[in-house]
Every structure is written in C-alpha cells, then in structure tokens.
Amino acid sequence: MAKNKRERNQNPQPFLADNDSVASSKKHSKAAKHHQKQDKMISSGMSSKILKEALLQQKEIEEEASGGNAKSAFGSVEEEYTKHEEEEEDIDDFGGFSETQSQFGNYEEEIDEDDEKLLEAFLSKDAGPQRTLADVIIQKIKESDAKVASETYPMPKLDESLIDLYKGVGKFLNKYTAGKMPKAFKHIPSMQLWEDVLYLTQPENWSPNAMFQATRIFASNLGAKKAERFYRLVLLPRVRDDIRKNKRLHFALYQSLKKALYKPAAFNKGILFPLCKSGTCNLREAVIVGSVLEKVSIPMLHSSVALMKLAEMEYCGTTSYFIKLLLEKKYALPYRVVDAVVAHFMRFLEDTRTMPVIWHQSLLAFVQRYKNELRKEDKNNLRILLETQKHKLVTPEIMRELDNSRNRGEKEDDPMLLASSVHVINKTIEEDRFDIPDVPMEED
C-alpha cells in the first residue's frame, strides 16, 4: 500500500487520460511546461509574419506617442528584416537603408591601377555623353514645339494639375529615405505617356533610396521593353554618375541593379549592352556591375544571348571582364555561342596592341570550360593566336588545356583517349609505388 501511495503522490493528474484532446478541451487548463512547448514549434514562415506585424505595430505605437516623428527603436531589426525578406514584403513597408549600408565597397581589392591604365587604351575617345530620359523627352518636346527651343527644361503638353502633382512628387522623392511611396507615383507604369510623366519628377535628382523603390515598382509593373527603357535612360546613367563622383556605388543603387536583374532580358538590353557599347566603361564600373551578375542566378538562355552579343560587339577592354564572368557560370552553351566566342578571340590575331590581362584570363576561362566542345580546327587557330598574343603566366595554361582535351563530337571512351589515360594512370602508380607505407602482417 505504501508503494502504491507513493506512486499516486508522484502523479499530479491521476484521473486524466493520456490524451492531448482531453487536456485541451479544458477551458482553465494549466500552462504547458517548457519541455511540452517544444513539441509545437512555430514554422519559419509564420514567425516571419509575426515579426513583420510586430514591427509594424511597434512603429505605429511609437509614432502615435511622439506625434509621428519618432524613429522606431526596432529600426536596425527592421532594416535587417528588409534586407533578407524583401521578396515577400510589400513596397509600402520599405524601411530604408542605414548609413552603415550606404556604400558598396567590397570591390576595392580587385581593381589594379596598372590594369585600369592599360584598359584605357581600349576605350573610345570620341564617345559622346550618355543619353538620359531628360535628354530624350526634351528633344521630343523641342521637335514638336519650336517655341520652347530656348528653354533648358521645358514641360510636356499635359494638364497643368498633372504637371503640378508630379512636380510635387519629384520634390518628395528628392528627400525620400523610407516609408510609403506616393500613390500617384505607383500609377506611372500604367500610364500611356509614362515617360513624360516620369520626366516631370526629375529622376536625376531622386535620392538613392527613391531610385531603389522606383526600380522595384517599374521592374514589377512594366513589360520587358518598357523596363529596358527605364533601365537605360534612368537607372544606368544614375549608377555611372554615382561611380564617377564617389569612386564607389551607393548601397541602395547597388540593390537597384540586383532588383533590375530579375528581368534579365531588360537588364541585358538596358544595362549591360549599353554599358559596353558606350566605349567608355572603365574597370571600376565593370567590376561593380559584374559583381551583380556573379551574385544573381541568370537563366541559361539569357546568358547565352548576352555572351553572343558581347562577342560580336566592337571590343572595349572591359568587355572581356563580362565575358569571363558569364563563362565562369559554367552553362551548357549551344555550339553557336561557342563558335561566336572563338570568332571573338580570333579577331585579335593581327592586333598589334598589348592585350590586357583580363583578355588572357577570359580566354583561359573559355578553354577550361569548353575545351571539349571545340573543333580541331578551332584549337589549331587558337594555338596560332597564342603565338602572337602571349602572356608569360596565362598562355602556358591555355596551351596545356588545349593539348589535354578531346575534340567536339568525340566520345569520352575514345580508344586513343582511353589509352592515353591508362598510360597516365600507370605512370602515376609507378612513381608513387615506393611511397606506399608498409603495413605489418598480423601473426596467426
């Protein structure tokens, strides 16, 4: 009896069945203990939503308490959440970028001054200034109305109330840091004369954070062709101007480039190709824009088209940098693209200029990845090219890759290649056989 009594005392709920449904049906049941709570963990998706709502509620409470001027105490947390969850959040919840994130400068070590000077020899000397949206609209206005030929910033023929509205929106965007975007601005992508209306807001004067928000809105709501024009006439000139002035790129503008790449066709036609065609793309610009290509996954089809266009384009020194980046993504390229890249390098057979190191590196990257997709005559032509375009460190590596590869169409189990592989394996075994440690035999 004593033993049974002790067992009953150790059991705090002797008459309850071992069933969660019975316990949960009680209205005033005790709180679950810590080890019981762990069995019902909240999913990551639900926890992120809870965090988001908590941040918004906390921000509203503090703004009401301080008249709407106080900054949330959870600002740093909100910025971090914005950084990692920006794909799921609404545009109105943008919390801005902090000053610690205001510059993107991780590329400084990759830029060599000697390489930069050597690449300048390949830049176009007579390239004119890059056209912006303002240049396009002003030219269109002056062509249609001779009376405004002397005005520096003429207004398009729109309703006066509309002009005043979007001038005010432009002033707001000049000082924008975080928060909601004006509803009038969100309607621009759906307008027929969206370029004229966008011109009224003076995009060249937007804050970097406003440019990021605008890129998100236009990338989401414009078709590929219209997005391309926005990238080429608004985003690209702003990015290049910021790099030229500050020798680096503002973090919000860098994030804008990443956001723009979610429409890869528009990015190629609006950012990458105009940058290379300008003939004035320096190494610093190439490294910054190229780092975006490295970090964001791009579909094979778009990368193949980009490689072919860059290979056929008039050569600018930094073009080799973008070719190298796309080659190192290791796509299974169509033969047509591989042949275009071979033709690109063969254009320099009779070039007397000293090719930059990045040119040799891009050729090495091409041969390393696609050596087995090259035809025999392509390899012979590349060997002839390497006799005139040499680099003491890179050229021997390229030759070694060409010599140790099969030709296009040959199978991996080709008898000649198989015999060569067996010979290499046997030679390796013979050289290393005396290095095998002796293992003592166990006695029976």
CB pairs under 8 A, 24+ apart, for 348-355?
Answer: 348/315, 348/385, 348/389, 349/384, 349/385, 349/388, 349/389, 350/388, 351/389, 353/121, 353/122, 354/118, 355/389, 355/391
What average pLDDT does the segment 65-89 reach? Answer: 41
Tokens of 257: 């480039």
Give the C-alpha distances (Å, rounded to integers) separating 26 from 17, 22, 38, 154, 418.
13, 7, 21, 74, 76
> Which pLDDT value is given to residue 154?
73
Q: How far apart are CA 101 and CA 78, in angstroms?
A: 14
> Which pLDDT value is given to residue 141?
73
Tokens of 224: 């590929």
pLDDT at 231 > cutoff 80: yes
> Which pLDDT value is given to residue 93?
64
Give 179's DSSP letter.
S
> Which pLDDT value is given to residue 72?
36
Query: Do 386 and 398 touch, CB atoms closer than 8 A?
Result: yes
> Which pLDDT value is given to residue 421?
44
With 0-12 CB in 10 A as exposed, 13-18 as middle and 19+ as buried, what is 172?
middle
Q: How far apart are CA 45 and CA 32, in angstroms?
A: 23
Query: Taking the model in full, what pTM does it have?
Result: 0.68
Q: What percent of the chain clears pLDDT 90, i.e. is strictly above it? A: 39
> Which pLDDT value is given to residue 157?
81
Question: Which of 184-198, 242-256, 411-425 is predicted with the least confidence, judged by mean pLDDT?
Answer: 411-425
Mean per-residue pLDDT of the chain: 75
Q: How far apart are CA 294 and CA 325, in angstroms?
A: 7
With 0-12 CB in 10 A as exposed, 13-18 as middle and 19+ as buried, what is 297?
exposed
CB pairs under 8 A, 24+ apart, for 79-86?
Answer: 81/48, 81/51, 81/52, 81/55, 85/48, 85/52
Report residue 116's pLDDT band, with 50, 70 and 90 as the boundaries. Answer: low
Report residue 213's pLDDT band, with 50, 70 and 90 as the boundaries. Answer: very high
> Which pLDDT value is given to residue 229?
93
> Which pLDDT value is given to residue 115?
63
Length of the chain: 444
Residue-wise pLDDT for 384-431, tens only, equals 999 998 888 899 999 999 988 888 888 765 555 444 444 443 454 344
Residue-wise pLDDT for 343-380, tens only, equals 999 999 988 888 888 999 999 999 999 999 999 999 99
Helix (H, G, I), strand (E, B) or coil at 382: helix
> Which pLDDT value is given to residue 47?
58
> Which pLDDT value is given to residue 228?
93
> Which pLDDT value is given to residue 353?
82
Report residue 34's pLDDT band, with 50, 70 and 90 as the boundaries. Answer: very low
> Which pLDDT value is given to residue 425?
38
Question: Which of 133-147, 187-201, 236-250 is predicted with the least confidence, judged by mean pLDDT?
Answer: 133-147
pLDDT at 170 > cutoff 70: yes
Q: What percent of the chain clears pLDDT 70, i.e. is strictly above it? A: 61
Within 96-207, residue ranges assigned H as helices are 113-120, 133-144, 160-174, 183-186, 194-200
Helix (H, G, I), strand (E, B) or coil at 440: coil
pLDDT at 77 > cutoff 80: no
The phi-psi region of residue 330 (left if phi > 0; otherwise alpha if psi is between -120 and 50; otherwise beta) is left
